[in-house]
Amino acid sequence: MRIAGISRLCKKQGEELLASTYGCNESQILELIQQARIELITQWCAPQERRGI
């Protein structure tokens, strides 16, 4: 699966989680997405030896 496909899948799963778990409607979800910040996750994805664990 390509990165774009994975990204769309993650977005859809996130939207479903917000709706089912927190009862967010579509406009609330869109607002949350607009406010979201992308944080660097490389430290979480790196091999353990690179994270200093």
Average pLDDT over residues 5-33: 91
The reported pLDDT for the residue numbered 51 is 47
Residue 41 has pLDDT above 90, yes or no: no
The per-residue pLDDT of the chain, averaged, comes to 77
- Report CA 28 to chain centroid distance, whole Å: 16
pTM given for the model: 0.58
Helix residue ranges, H only, the chain = 3-22, 26-35, 42-45, 48-51
DSSP category for residue 20: H
Average pLDDT over residues 3-29: 90
Q: Cα–Cα distance between 6 and 8 in angstroms, integer?
A: 5
Q: Cα–Cα distance between 29 and 22 in angstroms, integer?
A: 10
The reported pLDDT for the residue numbered 44 is 59
